[in-house]
Structure 1
Amino acid sequence: MAPPLLTLQDVALTFGGTPLIENAELSIAPGERACLVGRNGSGKSTLLKIAAGFIEPDRGTRFVQPGATIRYLAQEPDLSAYPTTLAYVEAGLGPGDEPYRARYLLEQLGLTGEEDPRRLSGGEGRRAALAHVLAPEPDILMLDEPTNHLDLPAIEWLESELKGLRSALILISHDRRFLESLSQATVWLDRGITRRLNQGFGAFESWRDGVLEQEELEHHKLDRKLAMEADWLRYGVTARRKRNVRRLANLHTMRQQYKDHKRAVGTVSMTLAEAEQSGTLVVEADGVSKAFDGRPIVTNLSLRLLRGDRLGIVGPNGAGKTTLINLLTGNLAPDSGTVKLGANLQMVTLDQRRASLDPNATVAETLTGGRGDTVTIGGQTKHVVGYMKDFLFSPEQARTPVSVLSGGERNRLMLARALAQPSNLLVLDEPTNDLDLETLDLLQEMITDYSGTVLLVSHDRDFLDRTVGSVLVSEGEGKWVEYAGGYSDMIAQRGAGVQARAAERDARPKAAKAPPPSEASQAKRKLNFNEQHDLKTLPQRMAEMEAKIAKVQEIMADPTLYTRDPAGFQKAGAALSKLQSDLAAAEDRWLEVEMLREELGG
């Protein structure tokens, strides 16, 4: 095995007298993809900055292989010193890097390179920063929440691009699907100490639960009363995740019920049967259309929502998801068609802007409105401390001012306040933005327990899969189509994920567009970057895989291996099967690109 490109050993760091990191270790090998996970405020971003060399620890050693290149993506990158986005991305290139990579990546991310960095939106700034760190193809790529402010097409493009890079990757993200798809190893930072699992994030939560259960057994003889509140915050999360896993079966049942009572979305006229129970109908849209400045946002949409439905709305930035929500809830009048709302609707909305919190109020005052020590949830009165615990707050935080809460804690508090309001229609517009994994679990549980109807706009694929019964997808030009199931079910039925908006694709530089299919243009066709990269690197990768296969075969040739180590024999067999499969795929890809190169004349 190749020596690590970067190692951290016995790292410690204290902020304001409180140890944040006490004994952390981290190593990354060439080409390895590791995710760094932990609760909000555990020090993940700080540890990544130590690894990148931006923060000096109080104790410990940091070693980087001589000549190894590192690129680090911060959560809030600063582009203000550069005249254009292209200049910013080119500034990240090294002497031996390919200059065309800068413009290529900007174009792929929907930017021209001529934008003024001082006038970029949050999403545009994040795209430019991604191009800045990806363009050099560094030896080590460190990404802190790279999917923040990105829409679904950009997230799926980034996921595909990172899979094709040979750079080692250290990743922090709250996007479960993103972590599961990319990670090969998981580093867990918990109470200042790191633990490593040599498997991807998909295996992490079960492994973590086992570690915590073993820890609880070891401390069982101690005075549990003293440790109860401190442990609850960790073990409560574990129990919550297990409950949510069981609830997925109920979600599948709900989706089948959805198929039974829904009709196709489109131009079909839907009517409410007189015999239906009062309050069963929540929203009925018939032939609804809306346009702004001549651009269609919604065209001839017919949709019916019944009590208890959970509808996810997905599409690229600019598709009109928020406008659609406003149409369906009666806050915006359509240009044509009708929207009928059910009787006795009480709606609570959590939008992207997030209602502001009074920094001087305490957590308890925020939840009770400053009136007493109780909150009323679903007609039942509950003590504010008990309600706080549902949202992962400790009892001691009841009198804590909002101003000292972390970002994740403020998000949880806003969710708690919104969900405490009486409602039977819950409208959530990008509720997962900036939430940590524990809070996402909590929100999932709240939605699952909610007896009313949910309208959810989100770019989190895993969250959609876990919470909604149907998905409404933008198909462009104002057309919206509804699919039964979650996001993964939608892809299975549709054959593709969410595509970038056509206007955004058309706004890219002409150089990025395909030329017309004439003989002259076909003669000028060249291998694109990915094809060139594969043609150049695949032979070496195939040779490396062949060498690994030979080593594994040599190990398995030992006639005593199975008797001595049955588990080792099975592990070697599985590794051999995967290597042979990867080699076959690499050979097919190389042959495909080589034939294309010959067809294009060299």
Structure 2
Amino acid sequence: MNYLSVENISKSYGERTLFENVSFGINKDQKIAFIAKNGTGKTTIMNIITGKDEPDSGQVVMRKDIKMAFLSQVPDLQDELTIEESIFASDNDTLKVIEAYEKALENPDDAESYQKAFDQMDQLNAWDFETQFKQILFKLKLDDLKLKVKNLSGGQKKRLSLAIILINRPDLLILDEPTNHLDLEMIEWLENYFAKENMTLFMVTHDRFFLERVCNEIIELENGKIYQYKGNYSYYLEKKELRIASENASIDKAQNLFVKELEWMRRQPKARTTKSKSRQDDFYVIKEKAESRRREQQVELEINMERMGSKIIELHKLVKKFKDKTILDGFSYDFQRGERIGIIGKNGTGKTTFLNILTGTIPPDSGKVVIGETMKIGYYTQSGIQPKYGQKVIDVIKEFGEYIPLMKGRTISAGQLLERFLFDRKKQHDYVEKLSGGELKRLYLCTVLIQNPNFLILDEPTNDLDIVTLNVLENFLVDYPGCLIVVSHDRYFMDKIVDHLFVFRGEGVIEDFPGNYSDFRTYEDSAEPVKDDAPKEKNNWKQQQNASAGLSFNEQKEYAKLEREIKDLEFEKKRIEQLFSDGKVADAEISAKANELQQVIEKIETKELRLLELMEKMD
């Protein structure tokens, strides 16, 4: 059954044509994702579908009596209403009956009103509905129903708007970035909710796990044209690769991007339901997989950033509290070269506060942060950039730097970096006030990266970025040689970029987990159930690691790093030996190549000796 048809719509702004003769349909029970680069007309099409904008030509035809709801980026709520009043302020008959029943409960002396409300609940079978909507509010952490909208945070307002839509169950649900402002627990709940419910969805989202597990069709707007793929994200990647190859076989870079993305998708672990035979065996399997994943990526950039000294950043017994809420409780950590740490945890557990303490934005209550003399921190915050009115895009980035140095004397200029992040030469000379929200975020990223930091901190970098830009950012970060800390609710992004996690449990408990997000979920799902009287630190990975392996935590990290470096050196040794074997070394280069090979062999021997020393301590 067709719910809605978009028929040959076109839209232009002045001389700029966003799209022409775009057509597609939305049918009952379809779960469609709409993909497009920022600034290419994605929001405009959603506004046309929902009646907030008009096409220059064409039309949108909706089936009669279809109820449609739209979750926008900016919630449309009444400030003076409470959460409860906002939920009941709808034309839903069942909700009105539940509202009457709730009011009757508040007046137990009025037996007649109570009996009437009770009977109506029975007649409409509203009991299950009431249970379900209370569960939705609980999952979205909207517990205080008497709280007024005007006193809610931006994230709470977005969650309230989502709750209202889910509770009212429209025939067609239009969603603009539904996972923004949700923590990972909420995202996974919403993902499971949509996957099992018979709902018709049309959504814009950059969450590729969401696309993979919820959507059964993907519609892409590219260069003003619509392409439709009858499958999930993996299917889309595969078919798009074939389409690009058939349309233009010479676009090697774009093709390789999707081939790499698809290969990575296929390597991801399936969800496991059986419990692990040995938690320690699992630990080392996860550790090995986490350390090997990034080596499978092809290096495209060799950034020549400022050399790091022996001291990176040291955290000594950090304590931070806000009234009765503990954020950090004596947390210590010594960062090592090349570490790539993801930070996860529920909203309100102190992730951003931790980053602000790390960067000196706010002080700890006690303890200290010691930053090495050679460290140059780049900090991408959620607050974004505030460019001057009338500035051009290229001028904004040049205020922060002219180029990024690469190996062998090469550079990436400010303009080339902007091109890599999808600002073409024409766009670089646009005024910043013309940029969309996603494009401003993209520009902000470039201003941080052009400064060539050797310690990069990214706080929710994926919010408002389209999937194409996310691929570009991921490929840049895969090549990034410095230390990296990422806070993100984008599980796919975290899986691809980080090697281990800081898990913020709340109440000052922070655990160090040696793997990415999928590893963490697999481990959590397969872990033995914890008794009710167990302490909060139920899975202190650092303690388990030290107790079982006989190594200090820093020695564990050194051991993992040595394994990684030895494998890399073995690969380099084989590569040079193969050059000699194939006769590809010129006579003038034989001596230099032989010396290079000998140096690699000596490095392998030195690192293997240290590895053996550590292995002996593990016995």
**Normalized against structure 1, the TM-score is what?**
0.70
Equivalent residue number for residue 238 of structure 2: 206
Q: 1:496 to 1:350 in 2, by over 3 A?
A: farther
Equivalent residue number for residue 105 of structure 1: 136
Inter-partner Cα distance in structure 1 for 2:268 and 2:186: 28
Q: Does 1:473 align with 2:471?
A: no
Inter-partner Cα distance in structure 1 for 2:442 and 2:8: 33
Equivalent pair of 1:329/1:341 in contact (CA under 8 Å)? no
**C-alpha displacement at 1:408, in angstroms?**
2.2
What is the 5 A alignment of 1:228-377?
A: 237-242=254-259, 256=288, 279-329=309-359, 332-337=362-367, 339-369=369-399, 374-377=402-405
Secondary structure of the 1:135 match is helix
Equivalent of residue 90 in structure 1, options 88, 91, 95: 88
Inter-partner Cα distance in structure 1 for 2:352 and 2:166: 31
Equivalent of residue 399 in structure 1, options 398, 422, 429: 429
Secondary structure of the 1:306 match is coil
Q: Which amino acid aligns with 1:384?
A: A
Inter-partner Cα distance in structure 1 for 2:45 and 2:412: 39
Cα deviation code 1:432-451 (max 9, x no counterpart): 12111122112212211111
Q: Which amino acid aligns with 1:349?
A: Y
Equivalent of residue 21 in structure 2, options 23, 32, 43: 23
Equivalent pair of 2:286/2:515 in contact (CA under 8 Å)? no
Secondary structure of the 2:464 match is coil
Secondary structure of the 2:335 match is strand
Q: Which amino acid aligns with 1:146?
A: P
Cα deviation code 1:151-176 (max 9, x no counterpart): 22222222222223322111110111
**C-alpha displacement at 1:211, in angstroms?**
1.6
Q: Which amino acid aligns with 2:49?
A: A
Inter-partner Cα distance in structure 2 for 1:254 and 1:160: 25
Q: Does 1:121 align with 2:156?
A: no
Equivalent pair of 2:241/2:259 in contact (CA under 8 Å)? no
Equivalent pair of 1:362/1:402 in contact (CA under 8 Å)? yes
Identity value in percent: 31
Equivalent pair of 1:184/1:200 in contact (CA under 8 Å)? yes
Equivalent of residue 139 in structure 1, options 140, 163, 171: 171
Of 419-428 and 330-339, deviating more is 330-339
Inter-partner Cα distance in structure 2 for 1:370 and 1:421: 6
Equivalent pair of 1:283/1:304 in contact (CA under 8 Å)? yes
**C-alpha displacement at 1:245, in angstroms?**
6.3
Q: Which amino acid aligns with 2:338?
A: G
Inter-partner Cα distance in structure 2 for 1:251 and 1:61: 42
Of 58-67 and 135-144, deviating more is 58-67
Inter-partner Cα distance in structure 1 for 2:358 and 2:16: 49
Equivalent pair of 1:254/1:469 in contact (CA under 8 Å)? no
Q: Which amino acid aligns with 1:389?
A: E
Equivalent residue number for residue 558 of structure 1: none
Secondary structure of the 2:327 match is strand
Inter-partner Cα distance in structure 2 for 1:323 and 1:249: 36
**C-alpha displacement at 1:192, in angstroms?**
2.8
**Normalized against structure 2, the TM-score is what?**
0.68
Q: Which amino acid aligns with 1:148?
A: N
Equivalent residue number for residue 229 of structure 1: none
Equivalent pair of 1:248/1:466 in contact (CA under 8 Å)? no
Inter-partner Cα distance in structure 1 for 2:168 and 2:31: 17
RMSD, aligned CA: 3.2
Inter-partner Cα distance in structure 1 for 2:316 and 2:87: 47
Equivalent of residue 180 in structure 1, options 201, 212, 216: 212
**C-alpha displacement at 1:25, in angstroms?**
2.2
Equivalent residue number for residue 31 of structure 2: 33
Inter-partner Cα distance in structure 2 for 1:62 and 1:139: 17
Cα deviation code 1:98-134 (max 9, x no counterpart): 7436555334322223222223211011011101211
Equivalent residue number for residue 559 of structure 1: none
Secondary structure of the 1:110 match is coil
Inter-partner Cα distance in structure 2 for 1:247 and 1:66: 44
**C-alpha displacement at 1:238, in angstroms?**
4.6
Secondary structure of the 2:328 match is strand
Equivalent pair of 1:23/1:194 in contact (CA under 8 Å)? no
Equivalent pair of 2:39/2:435 in contact (CA under 8 Å)? no
Q: 1:326 to 1:248 in 2, by over 3 A?
A: farther
Q: 1:58 to 1:455 in 2, by over 3 A?
A: same
Secondary structure of the 1:5 match is strand
Secondary structure of the 1:285 match is strand
Q: 1:55 to 1:63 in 2, by over 3 A?
A: same
Cα deviation code 1:75-106 (max 9, x no counterpart): 21221365223222223343356743655533
Q: 1:424 to 1:207 in 2, by over 3 A?
A: same
Equivalent pair of 2:291/2:499 in contact (CA under 8 Å)? no
Equivalent pair of 1:109/1:127 in contact (CA under 8 Å)? yes
Secondary structure of the 2:93 match is coil
Equivalent pair of 1:4/1:28 in contact (CA under 8 Å)? yes
Equivalent residue number for residue 555 of structure 2: none
Q: 1:13 to 1:360 in 2, by over 3 A?
A: closer
Inter-partner Cα distance in structure 2 for 1:489 and 1:183: 23
Structure 1, unpaired ranges of 5+: 221-231, 261-276, 498-602
Equivalent pair of 2:378/2:456 in contact (CA under 8 Å)? yes
Secondary structure of the 1:463 match is helix
Inter-partner Cα distance in structure 1 for 2:308 and 2:220: 51
Equivalent pair of 2:191/2:210 in contact (CA under 8 Å)? yes
Cα deviation code 1:51-89 (max 9, x no counterpart): 334434343343333322211111212213652232222
Equivalent residue number for residue 453 of structure 1: 483
**C-alpha displacement at 1:489, in angstroms?**
0.8
Inter-partner Cα distance in structure 2 for 1:69 and 1:174: 26
Inter-partner Cα distance in structure 1 for 2:68 and 2:353: 42
What is the 5 A alignment of 1:483-498?
A: 483-495=513-525
**C-alpha displacement at 1:471, in angstroms?**
0.7
What is the 5 A alignment of 1:55-94?
A: 55-80=53-78, 83-94=81-92
**C-alpha displacement at 1:249, in angstroms?**
12
Q: 1:307 to 1:467 in 2, by over 3 A?
A: same
Q: 1:13 to 1:393 in 2, by over 3 A?
A: closer
Equivalent pair of 1:244/1:445 in contact (CA under 8 Å)? no
**C-alpha displacement at 1:287, in angstroms?**
4.0
**C-alpha displacement at 1:201, in angstroms?**
2.1
Secondary structure of the 1:77 match is coil
Equivalent residue number for residue 272 of structure 1: none
Cα deviation code 1:566-600 (max 9, x no counterpart): xxxxxxxxxxxxxxxxxxxxxxxxxxxxxxxxxxx
